[in-house]
A and B are shown apart, each in its own frame.
Chain A
Amino acid sequence: MTSTKPLKIFVVEDDEWYCNFLEYNLKLNESNQVKKFLNAKDFLNCLHENPDVVTLDYSLPDMDGDQVLKRIKEYNKDIQVLAISGQEDISTAIGLLKLGAYDYIVKDEDTRDRLLNIVNNIRKNVELREEVTTLREEIGKKYDFSKAIVGNSAAIKRTFALIEKACKSKITVSITGETGTGKELVAKAIHYNSDRKGKPFVPVNVSAIPKDLIESEMFGHEKGAFTGATARRLGKFEEAKGGTIFLDEIGEMDINLQAKLLRVLQEREVTRIGGNGTVSIDVRIICATHKNLADEVKAGTFREDLYYRLLGLPIQLPPLRDRENDIILIANHFVKEYCKDNGIKNLSLSADAKNKMRKYHWPGNVRELKAVTELSCVMAEDDVVHESDVIFNSSNSLQDILLKEMTLKEYTRKIIQTYLEKYDNNVLEVAKKLDVGKSTIYRMIQNNEIEVEG
């Protein structure tokens, strides 16, 4: 057996001969720490030492095996108990497993192999459990919002204050903001900084799931509920048990499904499709949308009663263009991240690059800033990102044109030129469309301000 994760193993066995047998085998892995106990009393007095594994003889002289097992599980349910008995007795075995024993083995010639296999499996479980704990801590750190969300503008500070309030309470949170403002990041920050952090965070993008599937995705279904339902499936609400469900793009939800969601929120229970019974749910709800839900209510596409149920604590994420110097702080953060990920040192933004970034309107917000910053880092020839390295690919061409900061005369020339190209150089038509005199256009053509083909 290879030396891997050391386990603290307590052997509880009144037969000294057998106790030695177990100890010898368990010590084959030199990293294991094995301690022997010949009776339940001595063992229970040392339970505070928190062993990883206990091998428990079912028939101890001073206490029944199931009583000892109960005491162990009451003290710490993570201690794995391996029940060992002299006789094979199915009902005893089932009883012990129900009480939380990890496994049950009989003293026979196969004991050694079974013991070593089971302890190895327990070791893997312990390792996985520790890994999960470490990862959870890391996620918690990652979503420590004061670090994950960069910025010190007045607008983002107001958001921080609201996130802090959301972390301390179980209130439903509705996050609104333009695309790319970090709605999911905020939802995760709330979850991983709340007392639900040890439970699942389940994101559901309402707009990304086909209409026909969304009900079963959210509420689950029973076997045979519809064609293709070959097995029972738990929905996202059940998956998020004890944790948080994040309903992204809630504004896109079908009006019929809204009624079902409302019922779930009111009753705090779900009914799987094709199921008769209800399943109670303990789930915190965070929803997000880039739409103005109040407008959707007015337009009749979003239920008013659901709107008020979901509103809870509203957090409006500011668009990047309203976040003053945060643009540069965040861009610097992304430059650092890029350098770290790519093993590059000392890359920085030049003053003109920063200026170009400040002037831009960032329709894609932080998501766009990240993409632009990363691209500019790639384009940089030396250790400085220059203005020419900052390339915008925004789909908003009007904003792009306005950003060029031309004179009004130049803009006029550009507009008329574009219209003439569009309307086959028909000056009368263009004059009518733009509501300008045809002589203005003719004069510009005459002065070669506008080029007319053919």
Chain B
Amino acid sequence: MTNDYYDLTVLSKMTGGDKAFLKHMVQLFLTEAPKQVEEMRVAIENQDWLELGKTAHKIKSTIKSMGIHSMIDDALSLEQDGKNQTNLGMIEENFALFEAKFIHVVELLQQEDL
């Protein structure tokens, strides 16, 4: 439920202690979030920085709600750098770090006994 990467008690509060609902939202994250990460990768490949900013904004909101505190700042940097077209030289590296964390978080979440 709680580790260095995330704290699901946030989501638990959000879902009002409804366990089935919590499980449903985690499952939904596991199916939907990888699609958004993929969209971010495509945006970087196309150097479509505005699109990157928008997708990062979207996933940031989900990450916050899911209580994945370890990734919020990373998502925020990608959002702002994409939107403002700043630190473009670092964007690929930052994204790689973000993606690596994401994959690890997904693995941990899959192991959760909810």
**Are A and B associated in one complex?**
yes
Q: Are B54 and A18 in contact (CB under 8 A)?
A: no
- B47 in contact (CB, < 8 A): no
CB distance from A126 to the nearest CB of B (A): 24
Which residues of chain B from 29 to 81 have any CB-CB distance to chain A below 8 Å in the complex?
A: 29, 32-33, 54, 57-58, 60-62, 64-65
- A211 in contact (CB, < 8 A): no
- B84 in contact (CB, < 8 A): no
CB distance from A107 to the nearest CB of B (A): 6
Q: How far apart are the CA atoms of A24 and B60 in the complex, in Å? A: 21
Contact of A14 among B21, B58, B64 (CB under 8 A): B58
- A224 in contact (CB, < 8 A): no
Q: Are B58 and A21 in contact (CB under 8 A)?
A: no
| B20 and chain A: residue at smallest CB distance | A24
- B24 in contact (CB, < 8 A): yes
Number of interface residues of A (CB under 8 A): 18
Residues of A within 8 A of B62 (CB): 15, 17-18
**Count of A-B contacts judged by CB separation below 8 Å:** 46
- B14 in contact (CB, < 8 A): yes
Q: Are A20 and B28 in contact (CB under 8 A)?
A: yes
Q: How far apart are the CA atoms of A282 and B13 in the complex, in Å? A: 52
- A61 in contact (CB, < 8 A): yes
Q: Are B15 and A112 in contact (CB under 8 A)?
A: yes
Q: Are B16 and A59 in contact (CB under 8 A)?
A: no
Q: Are A111 and B14 in contact (CB under 8 A)?
A: yes
Which residues of chain A from 1 to 42 have any CB-CB distance to chain B below 8 Å in the complex?
A: 14-18, 20-21, 24
Which residues of chain A from 396 to 428 have any CB-CB distance to chain B below 8 Å in the complex?
A: none
Q: Are A86 and B29 in contact (CB under 8 A)?
A: no
Q: Are B14 and A112 in contact (CB under 8 A)?
A: yes
Q: Are B25 and A15 in contact (CB under 8 A)?
A: no
Q: Are A15 and B58 in contact (CB under 8 A)?
A: yes
Contact of A107 among B16, B29, B61 (CB under 8 A): B61
Q: How far apart are the CA atoms of A107 and B62 in the complex, in Å? A: 9
Which residues of chain A from 101 to 158 have any CB-CB distance to chain B below 8 Å in the complex?
A: 107-113
Residues of A within 8 A of B21 (CB): 24
Q: How far apart are the CA atoms of A112 and B11 in the complex, in Å? A: 10
Contact with B along A236-275 (1 / 0, CB 8 A): 0000000000000000000000000000000000000000
Which secondary structure characterizes the binding site on chain B? helix
- B109 in contact (CB, < 8 A): no
Contact of B32 among A17, A59, A107, A111 (CB under 8 A): A17
Best-surrounded residue of B29, B54, B65 (most CB of chain A within 10 A): B65
Residues of B within 8 A of A16 (CB): 28, 32
Q: Are A86 and B61 in contact (CB under 8 A)?
A: yes
Q: Are A109 and B57 in contact (CB under 8 A)?
A: no
CB distance from B36 to the nearest CB of A (A): 9
Residues of B within 8 A of A86 (CB): 57, 60-61, 64
- B106 in contact (CB, < 8 A): no
With A16-B32, A61-B54 known as contacts, the answer to whether A21 contacts B14 (CB < 8 A) is yes
| B62 and chain A: residue at smallest CB distance | A17
Residues of B within 8 A of A107 (CB): 61, 64-65
| B54 and chain A: residue at smallest CB distance | A61
Which residues of chain A from 58 to 109 have any CB-CB distance to chain B below 8 Å in the complex?
A: 59, 61, 86, 107-109
Residues of A within 8 A of B64 (CB): 86, 107-108
| B11 and chain A: residue at smallest CB distance | A109
Q: How far apart are the CA atoms of A108 and B11 in the complex, in Å? A: 9
Residues of B within 8 A of A18 (CB): 61-62, 65
Q: Which 8 A-B pairs have the closest CB atoms?
A: A109-B13, A86-B61, A17-B62, A15-B58, A17-B32, A109-B14, A16-B32, A109-B10
Extra pairs beyond A21-B25, A24-B24 (6, CB < 8 Å):
A21-B15, A21-B65, A24-B25, A86-B57, A86-B60, A107-B64
What are 14 of the A-B contact pairs (CB < 8 Å)?
A14-B58, A16-B28, A17-B28, A17-B32, A17-B62, A20-B24, A21-B25, A61-B54, A86-B60, A107-B61, A108-B64, A109-B10, A109-B13, A113-B16
